[in-house]
Structures are given as C-alpha cells and as structure tokens.
C-alpha cells in the first residue's frame, strides 16, 4: 500500500524559531517545474536556530506506514524529516536525518523504526517507537547551528 504525494500539492505551513523569539525566516512555494521549494535563512540570534515546514499526513497514509521515501535536491545541509503521531504522544516529534549534496537530486529511504523521539530538540529515550502509531503530521526541519541561507527542492514523498 504505497502512497505517493507530489510535494507541491500538499498544504505546507511554516513554523520557525520566531515562536521562541528567534529570527529565522523561511517559506514554501511551488517552482515552475511543479516541485515544492523550501527556502530561507537560519539565524542563531535571540536563541534561534531552526526553520521548518509542516503538513498534515493525508488520511490514506496515516496508518500502517513503515517507510518514508523522499526525493530532494539539496544545498549540502543536513535536514530532518519529522513525523508526529496522533494521541498522547502527538507533541513528540520523531525525526530522521538526511544529508544533502549541493545541486544533486537524491532519494532517501527512512524506516519509521529508525525515527528518534524528541521534544523541543531533546531526545526522549523512554518514549515508545513510532511504529504502529497513527501519523498526524509530517515536516522538514533545518537546525543544529546551520546558520545562513538554505534551499531544499522537494519532488515527492512516498509512504509505504
């Protein structure tokens, strides 16, 4: 039961470190080629340091997902793909990293079993695995003191 989504067709929203007083800026827009383009600037000023974009997981892919595949053209930065489950652990963000090469299209396969539970950047060691949980939200985040401009083109996301 593979579900494939063209990234530009999903209703993305931006959440940056401004929620905590930071000054990072980002946006998500559609390219002329029909891809989603996540761009901006990460600022470490005012205890900032992250930019993210999020969207709801489509209903048909919210249960039974074992792997996430994503095709991107990056800028050499490290990004994390984020998943949030429904229910009592909904505020926990499960992450998996992917490292991009500047200007090169890459496809990444991220097993749900490898996602690490976090809350506000801190790893939560005693939190249940994401496997078997109903997924509510997915997103992409750039952080980890990667100050400066970034650009990530997202072609598609597959959930299997």
In terms of Cβ atoms closer than 10 Å to its own Cβ (0-12, 13-18, 19+), residue 30 is: middle
Whether 122 is covered by a domain: the verdict is yes
| Domain harbouring 127, CATH code | 2.60.120.430
Chain segment 24-61, per-residue pLDDT in tens: 999 999 999 999 999 999 999 998 999 999 999 999 99
Note if the pTM is more than 0.85. yes
Indicate whether 114 belongs to any domain. yes
pLDDT in tens, 55-93: 999 999 999 999 999 999 999 999 999 999 998 776 899
Question: Considering only CA atoms, which of 160, 156, 159, 144 is closest in space to residue 17?
Answer: 144
**Domain presence at residue 133:** yes
| Average pLDDT taken over every residue of the chain | 95
Structure tokens at 114: 């490898």
Task: Say whether pLDDT at 1 is over 70.
Answer: no
Residue pair 118/144 in contact (Cβ under 8 Å)? The answer is no
Domain count across the chain? 1
Domain of residue 96 covers: 3-11+51-144+153-159
Percent of the chain having pLDDT more than 90? 89
Instruction: Indicate the DSSP class of residue 76.
Output: S
In a domain, 95, yes or no: yes
Is 113 within a domain? yes
Coil, strand or helix at 9: helix
Residue 37 located in a structural domain: no
User: Rounded distance, CA 29 to CA 58, Å?
Assistant: 19
Identify whether the C-beta of residue 62 lies closer than 8 Å to the C-beta of residue 91: no
């Amino acid at each position: 039961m593979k579900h494939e989504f063209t990234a530009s067709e999903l209703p993305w929203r931006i959440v940056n470190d401004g929620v905590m007083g930071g000054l990072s800026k980002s946006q998500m827009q559609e390219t002329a080629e029909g891809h989603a383009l996540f761009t901006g600037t990460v600022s470490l000023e005012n205890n900032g340091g992250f930019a993210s974009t999020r969207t709801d997981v489509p209903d048909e892919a919210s249960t039974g997902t074992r792997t996430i595949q994503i095709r991107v053209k990056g800028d050499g930065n490290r990004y994390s793909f984020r998943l949030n489950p429904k229910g009592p652990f909904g505020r926990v963000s499960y992450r998996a990293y992917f490292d991009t090469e500047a200007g090169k299209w890459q496809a990444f396969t991220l097993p749900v079993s490898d996602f690490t539970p976090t809350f506000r950047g801190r790893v939560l060691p005693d939190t249940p695995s994401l496997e078997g949980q109903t997924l509510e939200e997915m997103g992409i985040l750039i952080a980890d003191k990667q100050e400066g401009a970034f650009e990530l083109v997202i072609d598609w996301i597959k959930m299997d």
